[in-house]
Homo-oligomer: A and B are copies of this chain.
Amino acid sequence: MNELRKDPITKRWVILALDRGKRPNDYSYKEEEKETYCPFDYGNEESTPQEVLAFRNEGTKPDSSGWWVRVVPNKFPALNGKELNKEPHGMYDKMTGYGYHEVIVETPEHNTNFSEMSKKQLKEVIWAYVKRFNEIKKDKNIKYIQIFKNKGKRAGASLKHPHSQLIATPIIPMTILDELEGAKDYYNFRDRCVFCDIIRQEIDEEERVVFQTENFLTYVPYASRFPYESSIIPKFHSDNFGELEKDDELITELAGVFYNLFRRFKRVLKDPPFNVVLHTAPFAEDTNEFYHWHFEIIPRLTNIAGFEWGTGFYINTVSPEKAAKDLRKEEEEI
């Protein structure tokens, strides 16, 4: 069974998932692609675990064709435990690998991606995120749900078919803890949400803004770690991504933002590998006043080197202002 282990120095949790080494891979060690059997294509539904959610044509059966978005448990899960047990190991701490690891198959189409999908399809993908997020949140052992997407081998994808993933964990991950701590310090000092202040300053300065809609801001962060790193953030204050469920129009608007941004990436950066990562509040913590959900989008244009690993101190060779300008100048409908 998988296991969670905690580093006693940094307090960082690590998942040991020994079976994941066996998962199939569309990419060889060299960067070219292989043509292999795809478990996410129409007709291959039996090769995944049973679906937990699907948007599908009326009258079609679960785990058969006819869906347009399909969510299944990962066949090689990072977390899969049924019981949550916490134990010491001498001076160390561990727990069972309790949690959920799901794959959101974004479309039946094998050869497409976020920069080519319709707004309608992107909206359906976001709806799948929201639905699964709010469903899994009901499990009181879960402290955080990470929704993310790896596109391309360099970004860590092992399969080419467009998909996102969801990992629900019994601990709050380190990066989120760091953000919470920083946001709370800021709130204690200024009595305002740090993200709301960033939104205010970015809209005011303009030069790092890629584009805005009524409710969302897309910008390149002031202290970007990576060239063309971008954030999508709601302009209104909200710490919980799951609240989108109440507002179909907002999801439509967010789908338009995705549509616009990924098409810009494709044109400006020649369809790069990328990661999309949702940051949202952990559960059972009172973060409502000072946390603010957002998406981080990181094009993977360069390799990460030892200096970055050793220090968490990133060297970025493209200024955020230039990155935003390059992305801004491409006209694109929303």
Q: With an 8 A cutoff between CB atoms, is A268 at the interface?
A: no
**Main SS class of interface, A:** mixed
A223-B179 contact given A303-B155, A306-B156, CB 8 Å threshold: no
Residue from B169, B205, B320 in contact with A313 in the complex, judged by beta carbons closer than 8 Å: B169
Q: How far is the CB of A219 from chain B (nearest CB, A)?
A: 13
If A89-B222, A201-B91 touch, whether A16 touches B316 (CB-CB below 8 Å) is yes
Contacts of A155 in B (CB 8 A): 303, 305-306
A174 / chain B contacts, CB cutoff of 8 Å = 311-313
User: Residue A197 at the B interface, CB < 8 A?
Assistant: yes
Which of A142-150, A210-218, A259-267 sits within the interface?
Answer: A142-150
Asked if A14 and B305 sit within 8 Å, CB to CB, the answer is no
Residues of A participating in the B interface, judged by any CB pair closer than 8 Å = 5-21, 30-31, 78, 89-92, 144, 146, 148-150, 153-157, 165, 167, 169, 171, 173-176, 178-179, 182-183, 186, 194-195, 197-198, 201, 204-205, 221-225, 275-279, 296, 298, 302-320
25 CB contacts below 8 A, A to B, read A8-B223, A9-B182, A11-B182, A12-B178, A12-B223, A12-B313, A15-B313, A16-B319, A20-B315, A30-B31, A91-B198, A144-B311, A148-B307, A149-B306, A155-B303, A156-B302, A169-B311, A171-B313, A173-B312, A175-B309, A175-B310, A178-B312, A275-B306, A275-B310, A277-B309
